[in-house]
Amino acid sequence: MTDKSGLNIFEKSLKKLSDKVYRHMENGSGHMILLTSMSAILLSMIAQTGAILTNKNYSLSQKAFMVPQELTEGCITALSMFVITKPLQKMSDIYVKRGKILTKDMKNYLQKHNVLDKRGKSEFNLENTINNFIKKLETSEKHTNSDIKLLNEHNNMLQTYNSVYDTSSAISTTAGGVISTAFISPLIRNYTASNFQDKNIKMYQQHTNIKNHAVNIKPYPKI
């Protein structure tokens, strides 16, 4: 099945997904790290589940216990990483955009162009400020040597800003990943696994008692 552009519906859906992923990754390497980490966790979960299902050494009762536990642990690990890391990423992005995280060169740049006192305010956006400086120079009719020099300065500062933004995003994502996988997710997994195990033990005991009771039933004596 194809649409008006001649693209297969599957190809069109795949293109939309890839475009969305690409735009998401443009927001910083931290977003790419989070996406790839969660994908790796989920793929590992699927692989482990497949290995359990195809392993002939496990009985059906063992598989019935191990498969849901593996799926639960994988989902908990991926979800906890997202829930912990995403707010840290957002906070990091806000701090960089508002100019709260600066290098020495960035601070000197803001001071030179009389916008240092605006940093940290909710309406201030450092990236937009630099782009506005660049746009103003690019739209002017004549470019003097000082204008060209100033334009290069703004472009260099934009590269510095992107580098700081990217580094901050990666650090916040790494911190969120460490906190979630080393502390939060093990606690949740242990709690859910314990409850799941208790539930399965009770079900097994009930099944065993019913089976034993059925075996021990004595037939009515013949008259």
What are the residue boundaries of the structural domains of the chain, listed by start? 9-185
What is the tens place of the pLDDT at every residue in 152-198? Answer: 999 999 999 999 999 999 999 999 999 999 999 888 888 887 776 66
**What pLDDT shows up at residue 220?**
40
Q: Is a pLDDT exceeding 70 seen at residue 208?
A: no
Q: What is the DSSP string of 12-66?
A: HHHHHHHHHHHHHHTT-HHHHHHHHHHHHHHHHHHHHHHHHHH-TTS-HHHHHHH
Percent of the chain with pLDDT over 90: 52
**What pLDDT shows up at residue 214?**
47
Contacts 24+ apart (CB under 8 A), 130-134: 130/154, 130/157, 130/158, 130/161, 131/158, 134/158
**What pLDDT shows up at residue 218?**
46
**What pLDDT shows up at residue 142?**
75
Q: Is a pLDDT exceeding 60 seen at residue 206?
A: yes
Band the pLDDT of 119: cuts 50, 70, 90.
very high
CA distance 45 to 71: 6
**What pLDDT shows up at residue 204?**
62
Averaged confidence pLDDT in the chain: 82
